[in-house]
Structure 1
Amino acid sequence: MSIRQLLRMGMVMGGFLAALPAAATTQLRMDLSQLSLQSDAVVHGVVRRVESRWAGDGQRIVTDVEVEVVEPLKGQPGGTVLLTQPGGEVGDIGQVVHGLAAFKTGEEVVIFLRKRGAKAFRLSGEAQGKYQVRRGEVGKPAMAVPEPTEALLLDPVTRQPTASVEKPRTLEDLKAAIRAALKESAP
């Protein structure tokens, strides 16, 4: 093969690969029941602090999210929980990790947590483990909205790409569904 043919083939392959959808993170889709059962704690709370810092190794950036617990739905997490996830921004240096949830101070959330040490947690199912609570007009019920994710979700049985099955619902419906899932699994 000549160099010209190799270059042409490379351009064709490059064009083909550029046409494919990019998915930096792949995760198994989790439904509400799986999130409830596989989490060490589930809390309804308010984000009090979001702070990025260098990890102990000085090579990575992590973000700490401190959440004041309004109501524990599973586990005994205490009055506040500290959720740590990779990525964030320190000064003018940032690290992006796709498929994770975003948090902001003052945000009301329902989060599904897995223990990482004595007092630290990580989200179960990454972004799938966060619902944002949105309050509208007075007299209207608060809504729990699943966090959108950039991750490519795979069906846990077929391992084929799929969409999230979770939809917005009232906060009370979400809490009732979590309690029902936990009650079904109790011995």
Structure 2
Amino acid sequence: MSIRHAVRTLVLAALLGGLPAGATTMLRADLPQMAQASDAVVQGVVRRVQSRWSGDNRRIVTDVEIEVTESLKGTSGGTVLVTQPGGRVGDIGQVVSGLATFSEGEEVVVFLEKKGASAFQLAGMAQGKYQVQRSDSKTGAMAVPAPTGDAVLIDPQTRQETESNAKPVTLAQLKSTIRAALQAQQVAPAKKGTK
């Protein structure tokens, strides 16, 4: 089951009364699953964050333009545009629980799903963003998962509420885990074909 399908199923369940009303609910996704299910995974620097009215003028969306410094999966070089619901235009704001926030100049690793011809959205909502924090220490850069806020996380196996299992790791460890997951994904179909 894809992350997209699982999130849609849980949102539908919430609307039907199976989960607490008013809360954003999403399946907890582990790092290898996020890497494999995403259309693209990139490291980059946020160059622009801009909220605007949607085409039908009924909701606010925020565009986040990320200059890609390294593509770990999918898209190569250039920039990517991440669009997500919510934001502020003038005196009017819209908040959507469970989404990551971005700021200009911030270095990130993001897991992306295609949304239209040229835009993306975060895979797994806030779970799809790691902030890169650099220091002068010998540990190097750290990759810190975005907080999920007041969103309710559901364990994909037990279907019970759970906590996020995402923890800060070094940037090198994050990239290594992503590459290993993608390599395992390529090997799995090859093994099926030999049976």
Q: TM-score range by the shorter chain?
A: 0.7 to 0.9
Deviations 1:42-82 (A, max 9, x none): 00000000000000010000000000000000012441000
Shift of 1:137: 1.8
Instruction: State the TM-score, normalizing by the size of structure 1.
Output: 0.86
User: What amino acid does structure 2 have at the position aligned with 1:166?
Assistant: A
Corresponding pairs, count: 167
The 1-side partners of 2:110 and 2:21 are apart by 27
Contact persistence 1:46–1:67 (CA under 8 A)? yes
Identity %: 66
Contact persistence 2:63–2:84 (CA under 8 A)? yes
Match of 2:86 in 1: 87
Contact persistence 1:41–1:77 (CA under 8 A)? no
The 2-side partners of 1:41 and 1:89 are apart by 27
The 2-side partners of 1:124 and 1:157 are apart by 19
Shift of 1:22: 8.3
Deviations 1:2-35 (A, max 9, x none): xxxxxxxxxxxxxxxxxxx986211000000110
Match of 1:116 in 2: 115
User: What amino acid does structure 1 have at the position aligned with 2:176?
Assistant: A
Structure number with larger C-alpha Rg: 1
Please identify runs of 4+ aligned residues in structure 1 that moved more than 3 A: none
Superposed counterparts of 1:121-132, under 5 Å: 121-132=120-131
Q: Which SS does the other structure have where 1:114 is aligned? A: strand
2:171 corresponds to 1:166: no
Q: Which range is displaced more, 117-126 or 131-140?
A: 131-140
Unaligned runs of 5+ in 2: 1-19, 191-195
Superposed CA RMSD in Å reads: 1.3
Match of 1:9 in 2: none
Contact persistence 1:23–1:152 (CA under 8 A)? no
Q: Which SS does the other structure have where 2:68 is aligned? A: strand
Superposed counterparts of 1:8-47, under 5 Å: 24-47=23-46
2:176 corresponds to 1:185: no
Superposed counterparts of 1:148-167, under 5 Å: 148-150=147-149, 151-167=151-167
Unaligned runs of 5+ in 1: 1-20
